[in-house]
C-alpha cells in the first residue's frame, strides 16, 4: 500500500515539473519571442547551421572609429600653444579655510587645582607627567604643567 502511494506522489511531481516547464517556455516566448521547440526542430534538421549561427551572433560587432579630422593652421599659430587648464572653482570649505587665519596651538601654563572647583570658562586637565589636575582656559590646546613642566594636550 505504501509503494502505490509513493508512486502516485512521484507521478504528481513529474506532472507538476512538466507543467512548470511548459508554463516557463510560454512565458519566455511571450516576453522574448524565443520558442525553444522551434529551435530544437531547426537544430535537428540542420545541426551544423545552428552552430554557425550561434558563433556568428555571439561575436561583438567591430566598432568603427570616426575619421581623423585634420587641423588647419601651422604649429606656429597662437591657437596651438599648449596651456594649463584653469583651476576648478574652489569648494566652500577651501574658501573658508583660506579666509581663516592660520591657527597655531595655544600653549598655556596650567594652574594646579582641585578637580571639583573649576570656574566657568575653564576646564580640568590631568598632567601626563605628575598626574596632577590643572585648571586651564577652555580654548587652549596645549597645557604646560606648573610643577613638572610637561606639555599635555587638552583632551
Tell me what pLDDT residue 18 has. Answer: 93
Can you give the residue range of the structural domain that contains 42?
Answer: 10-56
pLDDT at 74: 53
**Alpha carbon separation from 43 to 1, 30, 39 (Å, rounded):** 45, 21, 6
R_g over Cα of the chain: 42
* Most confidently modeled range among 18-22, 90-94, 113-117: 18-22
Among 14-18, 30-34, 65-69, 113-117, the range with the most confident prediction by mean pLDDT is 14-18
Closest CA to 115 of 136, 146, 144: 136
Q: Is residue 149 part of a domain?
A: yes
The predicted structure's pLDDT at residue 126: 86
- At 3 the three-state DSSP class reads helix
Count: domains in the chain: 2
- 139 Cβ contact list (under 8 Å, min separation 6): 106
Is residue 37 situated within a structural domain?
A: yes
Q: Can you tell me the mean pLDDT for 81-103?
A: 71
Residue 132 lies in a domain: yes
The DSSP string of 65-122 is PPPPPPPPS-TTSGGG---PPPPPPPPHHHHHHHHSPPP---EEE-EE--SS---TTE
In a domain, 115, yes or no: yes
Q: Output the pTM of the full model.
A: 0.33
pLDDT tops 70 at residue 3: no
Q: What is the mean pLDDT of the chain?
A: 78
pLDDT, position 75: 52
Tell me if residue 135 falls in helix, strand or coil. strand
For residue 62, is it within any domain? no
Give the Cα separation of 123 and 135 in Å (integer).
Answer: 6
User: Which residues on neighbouring strands pair with residue 123, listed in sequence order?
Assistant: 136
Strands 142-144 and 107-109: parallel
The verdict on residue 30 lying in a domain is yes
What mean pLDDT is predicted for residues 93-120? Answer: 72
In tens, the pLDDT along 135-144 reads: 888 888 888 8
In a domain, 50, yes or no: yes
Confidence of residue 111 (pLDDT cuts 50, 70, 90): confident
Amino acid at each position: 500500500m505504501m509503494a502505490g502511494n509513493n508512486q502516485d506522489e512521484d507521478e504528481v511531481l513529474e506532472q507538476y515539473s512538466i507543467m512548470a516547464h511548459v508554463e516557463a517556455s510560454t512565458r519566455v516566448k511571450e516576453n522574448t519571442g524565443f520558442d525553444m521547440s522551434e529551435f530544437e526542430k531547426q537544430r535537428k534538421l540542420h545541426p551544423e547551421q545552428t552552430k554557425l549561427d550561434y558563433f556568428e551572433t555571439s561575436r561583438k560587432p567591430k566598432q568603427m572609429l570616426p575619421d581623423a579630422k585634420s587641423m588647419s593652421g601651422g604649429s606656429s599659430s597662437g591657437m596651438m600653444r599648449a596651456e594649463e587648464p584653469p583651476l576648478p572653482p574652489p569648494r566652500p570649505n577651501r574658501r573658508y579655510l583660506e579666509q581663516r587665519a592660520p591657527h597655531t596651538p595655544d600653549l598655556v601654563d596650567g594652574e594646579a587645582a582641585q578637580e571639583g572647583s573649576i570656574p566657568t570658562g575653564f576646564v580640568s586637565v590631568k598632567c601626563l607627567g605628575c598626574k596632577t589636575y590643572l585648571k586651564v582656559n577652555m580654548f587652549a590646546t596645549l597645557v604646560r604643567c606648573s610643577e613638572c613642566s610637561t606639555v599635555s594636550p587638552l583632551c
